[in-house]
A and B are shown apart, each in its own frame.
Chain A
Amino acid sequence: MSIQYKTIAELRSMLDSKAISSKEIVEETYKLIDENNDLNAFITLNKEAAIAKSIEIENSPVKSALHGIPIAQKDLFCTKNLRTTCGSNILSNFIPPYSATVIENLENAGCISVGKTNMDEFAMGSSNETSFFGGVRNPWGQNLVPGGSSGGSASAVAAGLVPAATGTDTGGSIRQPASLCGITGLKPTYGRISRWGMIAFASSLDQAGPMARTAEDCAIMLNEMCSHDAKDTTSLSEDVPNFTKDLDSSIKGLKIGIVKEFDMSQLDTDVVSVFEESKKHYESLGAEFIEVSLPNISLSVPAYYVVAPAECSSNLSRFDGVKFGHRSKDPINLEELYIKTRSEGFGDEVKRRILIGSYVLSAGFYDAYYKKAQQVRRLIKNDFDSAFKKVDVIMSPTTRGAAFETGSKGSDPIQMYLEDLFTIPANLAGLPAMSLPNGMVNNKPIGLQLIGNFLDEKKILQVAHSFQKSTDWHLKTPKGTKLS
């Protein structure tokens, strides 16, 4: 029985009716991964332990909807005794002695971690081309990038190898690849999911989240991923709602904000018409559109490229070849040990960002760059606060276009940075946001972004679910439309 392209909810009912066993699902998953090896979606597989767990839990009471379900984990989360590289040469031999809280939460819920997915090095990239382990292919086309940084997770879900995967999102790293691969992905409110055991990139922006075929599956994942964690001082202690409950609620009367300052004239006409179609569809479901103004939104990308590199240069100072990871051979002294190890271990994009960070934090420049960017960050957050007084959610395209070809962004890093134009604002403001498939452009999928108010994941999941109940964009696969 093929399990390719099945959702968590579908696999759950197959398991509950004993149509298939968890061991069979896991074995079938590895067969699919093997057959689709050319995607390069995984860096490390966890085959022996995964099969052992599938046998072990077969006769234990079902703990959650994820019990016995195979999940792929982004290689940015520490996994106990399973290699964790963060897509980098500097961690290519690192085997963590502990697991991230979010991994523990998922595994305690009964999910089976089948492997670690490929990603842009240290999550710095929007095409998966910066991975030390090679680029990932988008299953929708031979030379297409899957987006990034969670490109391996997006590709694995889009190819139907696993029903869901974990991702992380610092400036769009869940939503942009979800859009380019035709899947659904959610970045929760900053602080909803513990960052303990996540390899840090930009600590005030990083947030883990689910990537799956449907909003319903994202809700199932989120139920298990969120928790208050005393080990992360930024972990929220607010109650975690049941995200799958009331998912079917009507969106009649819902107020959706359209951002006046998002300049649609710069997008492909096809992307604009897909977006307009989605607006019409939401209107037919009873939603109302209201224009909102976010006057400082155009400053999001420049503010981000000060804040994120500053935090990255500080976070990545821990990789020095002393306690773990790669160490350069035969350094003549301690300083050379640091310099050679880091120069050999990091790729060009990571080096670029560390250098920008060191520059904007250096004496004499701190106020002009770092402090200023954080002040602008507050202006952007204030804009969102005012907008959410008028609307329930804010809607935009997730990306400027569909998946692009490998190498096509050339060598200008700013062109790649602008990939995250629509996604970065939610990270700066700490707001929950998701991407769901809403159309095709030149036979390639594209996504719709929904941004929610603080802690309002439940609302955006309901709004996405109502769309998926009445459209079939999320059922499209590279092999044709799936029967629901």
Chain B
Amino acid sequence: MDKKTVANIAYLSRLKLNSDNEEKITSDLENIIKFVDQLDDVNVENIAPLTSPLEKTAKTRSDEVTAKNRKDVFLERAPKSNEDYFLVPRVVE
């Protein structure tokens, strides 16, 4: 775990580290990864991954529209919106 790797995963996470915490976070991440590296020594041959404790197929429901259109309620919570859309800085020049 070096500064370059941290810069890359920070970009993937859309986070910017500032100079005050960059070094501390880099060394924390290094220690945490070292800690989880204990898993390396475990033999997991032929063991299927457990993604959820339930291991059940999700139940399906009938394909009917149940949600009401509450556009106004959601748009009014946005930091910036007009009558129909969430507004963000211009993407296409």
Q: Which residues of A contact B (CB under 8 A)?
A: 94-95, 97, 190-191, 204, 230, 233-234, 236-237, 296, 299, 301-303, 305-306, 313, 317, 320-327, 331-340, 342-343, 346, 348, 351-352, 354-360, 362, 368-369, 371-379, 381, 411-414, 417, 428-431
Would you call A324 and B78 a contact (CB within 8 A)?
Answer: yes
Would you call A358 and B16 a contact (CB within 8 A)?
Answer: no
Q: Assess whether B65 is interfacial by the CB under 8 Å rule.
A: no
Dominant secondary structure at the B interface: loop
Q: Which residues of B contact A (CB under 8 A)?
A: 1, 5-6, 9-10, 12-18, 21, 24-25, 28-29, 31-33, 35-40, 42, 44, 47-54, 58-59, 61, 70, 73-74, 77-80, 86, 88-91
CB distance from B27 to the nearest CB of A (A): 10
Which residue of chain A has its CB nearest to the CB of B38? Answer: A302
**In the bound complex, how far is the Cα of B10 from the Cα of A357, in angstroms?**
11
Would you call A359 and B86 a contact (CB within 8 A)?
Answer: no
Give chain A residues whose Cβ lies under 8 Å from the Cβ of B1: 359
7 A-B pairs besides A334-B91, A355-B10, A414-B35 with CB distance below 8 A are A94-B77, A97-B77, A233-B58, A339-B16, A340-B16, A343-B15, A375-B44
Contact A375:B77 (CB < 8 A) given known A359-B33, A430-B54: no
CB distance from B69 to the nearest CB of A (A): 13
Partner of A413, one of B10, B32, B59: B32
Which residue of chain B has its CB nearest to the CB of A313? Answer: B13
Would you call A356 and B51 a contact (CB within 8 A)?
Answer: no
**In the bound complex, how far is the Cα of B30 from the Cα of A65, in angstroms?**
51
**In the bound complex, how far is the Cα of B58 from the Cα of A360, in angstroms?**
26
Report 24 cross-chain contacts, Cβ distance below 8 Å, ordered by A residue: A204-B51, A299-B38, A302-B36, A306-B36, A317-B14, A320-B14, A322-B88, A333-B91, A334-B91, A337-B89, A343-B17, A355-B6, A356-B33, A359-B5, A359-B33, A368-B40, A372-B39, A372-B40, A374-B51, A379-B44, A381-B50, A381-B53, A414-B35, A430-B53
Would you call B35 and A305 a contact (CB within 8 A)?
Answer: yes
Would you call A95 and B54 a contact (CB within 8 A)?
Answer: no
Partner of B21, one of A321, A348, A414: A348
Contact A355:B52 (CB < 8 A) given known A94-B77, A333-B89, A339-B15: no
**In the bound complex, how far is the Cα of B77 from the Cα of A325, in angstroms?**
8
**In the bound complex, how far is the Cα of B81 from the Cα of A324, in angstroms?**
10
Would you call A414 and B32 a contact (CB within 8 A)?
Answer: yes
Give chain A residues whose Cβ lies under 8 Å from the Cβ of B53: 190-191, 204, 381, 428-431
Contact A331:B58 (CB < 8 A) given known A299-B39, A374-B51: no
CB distance from B36 to the nearest CB of A (A): 4
Give chain B residues whose Cβ lies under 8 Å from the Cβ of A333: 89-91
CB distance from B47 to the nearest CB of A (A): 4
Which residue of chain B has its CB nearest to the CB of A191? Answer: B54
Would you call A327 and B49 a contact (CB within 8 A)?
Answer: no
Partner of A377, one of B14, B25, B32, B49: B49
Would you call A299 and B42 a contact (CB within 8 A)?
Answer: yes
**In the bound complex, how far is the Cα of B38 from the Cα of A303, in angstroms?**
9
Give chain B residues whose Cβ lies under 8 Å from the Cβ of A379: 42, 44, 47
Which residue of chain A has its CB nearest to the CB of B16? Answer: A343
Give chain B residues whose Cβ lies under 8 Å from the Cβ of A296: 42
Give chain A residues whose Cβ lies under 8 Å from the Cβ of B80: 327
**In the bound complex, how far is the Cα of B15 from the Cα of A379, in angstroms?**
34
**In the bound complex, how far is the Cα of B32 from the Cα of A212, in angstroms?**
34
Give chain A residues whose Cβ lies under 8 Å from the Cβ of B15: 339, 342-343, 346, 351, 354-355
Would you call B88 and A351 a contact (CB within 8 A)?
Answer: no
Residue of B16, B24, B73 ringed by the most chain A CB atoms within 10 A? B16
CB distance from B57 to the nearest CB of A (A): 9
Give chain B residues whose Cβ lies under 8 Å from the Cβ of A317: 14
Contact A359:B9 (CB < 8 A) given known A95-B77, A302-B35, A339-B15: yes
Would you call A332 and B39 a contact (CB within 8 A)?
Answer: no
Give chain B residues whose Cβ lies under 8 Å from the Cβ of A234: 52, 54, 58
Would you call B88 and A355 a contact (CB within 8 A)?
Answer: no
**In the bound complex, how far is the Cα of B90 from the Cα of A110, in angstroms?**
48
Give chain A residues whose Cβ lies under 8 Å from the Cβ of B13: 313, 342, 351, 354-355, 357-358
